[in-house]
Amino acid sequence: MKILVIAPHPDDEVLGCFGTVSKLIKKGYEAYTLILSQGKTSRGEGDEEIAILKEEIQKANGVIGIKKIFLENFPDNSFDSVPLLTIIKKISKVIEEIKPEIIFTHYANDLNIDHRLTYQALITATRPMQGCFVKEIYSFEILSSTEWNYPLSFSPNTYFDIGETIDLKIKAMQKATETRSNKAKKKIDKAIKTLQAQNKVITHYSIMKESSVAFQTVKKYIDESLLKSLNETDNLTPFFKGLLS
């Protein structure tokens, strides 16, 4: 199975889902990252800064074993100055090349315009046409964007325990932010911790393992093999057997 992580800015991919993706890689999945802009405005625009940034992206993605990184150059925090179709085409091209079954990306209603347009472009690129191989799409939350838009609407309904891989996520983030100020590093470190269920004050997080992170399932197609296994009672879990008896 192949996974594609799509983010507009460097670091979003790490913060959003690298605990989860690294656990899936350990289980045999292949994962790829597409970053749509170089996040220039936050670090200056010189060639040297860009070179450092690219190195940080490579190192951070290397920590969890991402197979390949696709890096585009859309204008940071101004995706609305680019025709949406141009972004859709870039995303479609990578999807065609990788043929991922699972995609992780931003939430539709984040405050950040690049996050919202990345989501919009992805949904268009994966519209349910015949032959579409993308089976599952999940939105992750990014602090200082997802919860900054009002009214709040991120509705987590999918939880993934990253107790085993949280250390790798933190290590990847350290690589991604090697040249940042200590203040920025502290802020990001706090953001990683805040995303864990154990630090959420919202009631429904309390039913999850404390080391879980939350996603919103955007869409999911049930595979035929899963349907078949549900019909063969020998394969059923006690839960489903109970439902049928």
The DSSP 8-state label assigned to residue 193 in this structure reads: H
**Which is closer to Zn ion, CB of 148 or CB of 240?**
148
Supply 55's token pair. Answer: 């190195």
Q: Which residue is nearest to Zn ion (CB)?
A: 9
- The sign one gets for the Cα dihedral 120, 31, 207, 217 is positive
CB 37, min distance to Zn ion, A: 9
DSSP string, 207-233: GS-TTEEEEEEEEEPPPHHHHHHHHSG
CB 103, min distance to Zn ion, A: 17
**Which is closer to Zn ion, CB of 9 or CB of 116?**
9
- Distances 24 to 139, 164, 245 between C-alpha atoms, Å: 16, 11, 34
164 close to 209: Cβ distance less than 8 angstroms: no
71 close to 38: Cβ distance less than 8 angstroms: yes
**Which is closer to Zn ion, CB of 166 or CB of 188?**
188
- Distances 234 to 226, 228, 240 between C-alpha atoms, Å: 13, 11, 10
CB 234, min distance to Zn ion, A: 47
- How far apart CA 33 and CA 136 sit, in angstroms, is 16
Q: Applying CB under 5 A, which part among 12-20, 25-33, 48-56, 231-239 lies near Zn ion? A: 12-20
9 binds Zn ion (CB under 5 A): yes
CB 107, min distance to Zn ion, A: 11
Site mask for Zn ion (CB under 5 A), range 192-211, x = bound: --------------------
**Which is closer to Zn ion, CB of 144 or CB of 206?**
144
116 binds Zn ion (CB under 5 A): no
**Which is closer to Zn ion, CB of 143 or CB of 230?**
143
12 binds Zn ion (CB under 5 A): yes
Q: Which residues bind Zn ion (CB under 5 A)?
A: 9, 12
